[in-house]
């Protein structure tokens, strides 16, 4: 037998004797169940917060005949990027430490029609008595050097389980269609690693400029909308 085959046989024996032993499988089972349970709490929290936004959209649609929300996206952080973050930040590998320190396991992205809708929805969410604000980052007022704009909120909401109530953190990113358009494309371009350093700096500058242009467009669209609604209101008042 050549060396390659000897190593292959040894590896297979190691896996059979160690990684497939009853003790090891029991170890995985004991750790996997609490992890799966924790992830299911985050999925429930996403459902809770998503419903809150859907209810607000529905109410606005009935009351003012318009939908401030263009779309909602949600995601649970993948196991891979969760492990990466735990490692990079040196967080202890316990469920409590993960729950406490990693605030973006449950993520919701709310795409709004106009910039003012973002703050209006934020206010509507935060005035609900079961929502607690943990952290707020306004990257619209202070965009990131990349040009990234969005309003980030970390909120805590209760989820009601069979015999227990748990508070769970959810990261909510609120942005306009224009901000989302820019962030999605920039995210795609960011992973194109084959670009040489000198060119990538130039491209980064250009991307930041595109974000500015996009923000100006948002502003103009907001002004147009405000004009239209004031004309509408005047018309309504005259008729009344
Ligand atoms: P993370 O460890 O990345 O979560 O950093 P953080 O906790 O300081 O969060 P931050 O406020 O920077 O927001 C992180 C999230 O915002 C990312 O997961 C992205 O969804 C989004 N984001 C932040 N900066 C950028 C950016 O420059 N470009 C794009 N496309 N998205 C960004
Ligand atoms: Mg984050």
Candidate of 88, 144, 147, 190 to mutate for ligand 1, largest count of ligand atoms within 8 Å of Cβ: 144
Question: Is 171 a residue of the active site?
Answer: yes
pLDDT tens for each residue of 73-104: 999 999 899 999 999 999 988 889 999 999 99
Q: How far is CA 132 from CA 117, 150, 171, 190, in A?
A: 20, 20, 12, 33
Give the distance (Å) from ligand 2 centre to CA of residue 76.
12
Question: In the Cβ-directed half-sphere of 91, how many Cα atoms lie within 13 Å?
Answer: 19
| pLDDT band, very low/low/confident/very high, at 21 (cuts 50, 70, 90) | confident
Q: What is the mean pLDDT of residues 138-159?
A: 97
Atom in ligand 1 nearest the alpha carbon of residue 186 = 30
Neighbouring residues of 76: CB distance < 8 A, sequence distance ≥ 6: 39, 42, 43, 46, 105, 106, 107
Cα–Cα separations (whole angstroms), residue 100 to 94, 97, 103, 144: 10, 5, 7, 25
């Amino acid at each position: 037998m050549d060396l390659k085959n000897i190593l292959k046989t040894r590896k297979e024996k190691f896996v059979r004797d160690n990684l497939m032993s009853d003790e090891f499988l029991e170890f995985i089972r004991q750790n996997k169940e609490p992890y799966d349970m924790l992830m299911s709490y985050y999925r429930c929290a996403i459902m809770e917060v998503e419903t809150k936004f859907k209810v607000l959209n529905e109410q606005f649609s009935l009351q003012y005949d318009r939908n401030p929300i263009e779309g909602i996206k949600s995601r649970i952080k993948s196991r891979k990027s969760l492990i990466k973050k735990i490692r990079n930040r040196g967080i202890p590998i316990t469920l409590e430490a993960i729950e406490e320190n990693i605030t973006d396991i449950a993520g919701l992205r709310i795409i709004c029609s106009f910039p003012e809708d973002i703050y209006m929805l934020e206010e509507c969410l935060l005035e609900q008595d079961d929502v607690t604000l943990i952290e707020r980052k306004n990257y619209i007022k202070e965009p990131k050097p990349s040009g990234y704009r969005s309003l980030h909120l970390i909120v805590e909401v209760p989820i009601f389980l069979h015999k227990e109530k748990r508070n769970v953190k959810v990261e909510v990113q609120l942005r306009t269609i224009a901000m989302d358009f820019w962030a999605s494309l920039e995210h795609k371009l960011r992973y194109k690693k084959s670009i040489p350093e000198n060119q990538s700096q130039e491209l980064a500058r250009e991307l930041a400029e595109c974000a500015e242009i996009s923000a100006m467009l948002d502003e103009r669209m907001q002004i147009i909308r405000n004009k239209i609604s004031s004309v509408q209101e005047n018309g309504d008042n005259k008729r009344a």
